[in-house]
């Protein structure tokens, strides 16, 4: 039973989570690329930089996340990201599904 459970867990992918400070925010057309100071271990998008996250500004829910990220930058606050497992920019950057900070 335990072996079956462990094999199932090894198949499942868990979202990447990182608590870090933001080093750089860049907007290219509708893609926001957030470069952070701390790399993460697990990356959903093969070959993706471990210090970058992304938002798709064509998606309405990403507008709120973008505002939250800019607020954290303005206040120089650490921010927590959770990855969605969705790859943006031809599989280069993992999309952010959740961002939070304590201001």
Any domain includes 47: yes
* Domain harbouring 82, CATH code: 2.40.50
What string of pLDDT tens digits covers the 103 residues of the chain? 554 443 433 334 445 666 788 999 999 999 999 999 988 777 778 776 788 999 999 999 999 999 999 999 999 999 999 999 899 998 889 999 999 987 6
How much is the pLDDT for 22? 92
Contact status, residue 103 vs residue 73, Cβ threshold 8 Å: no
Structural domain including 89 reads 15-100
Contact status, residue 44 vs residue 16, Cβ threshold 8 Å: yes
Residue 94 DSSP code = E
> 50 CB contacts (<8 Å, ≥6 apart)?
39, 40, 41, 43
Task: Please tell me the distance from the alpha carbon of residue 72 to that of residue 42, in angstroms, as a whole number.
Answer: 23
Any domain includes 30: yes
């Amino acid at each position: 039973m335990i072996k079956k459970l462990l094999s199932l867990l090894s198949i499942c992918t868990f979202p990447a989570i990182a608590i870090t400070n933001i080093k750089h925010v860049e907007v290219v057309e509708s893609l926001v690329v957030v470069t952070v100071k701390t790399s993460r271990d697990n990356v959903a998008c093969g070959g993706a930089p471990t210090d970058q996250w992304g938002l798709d500004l064509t998606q309405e829910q990403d507008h709120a996340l973008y505002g939250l990220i800019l607020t954290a930058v303005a206040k120089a606050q650490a921010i927590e990201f959770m990855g969605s497992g969705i790859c943006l920019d031809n599989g280069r950057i993992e999309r952010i599904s959740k961002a939070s900070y304590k201001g």
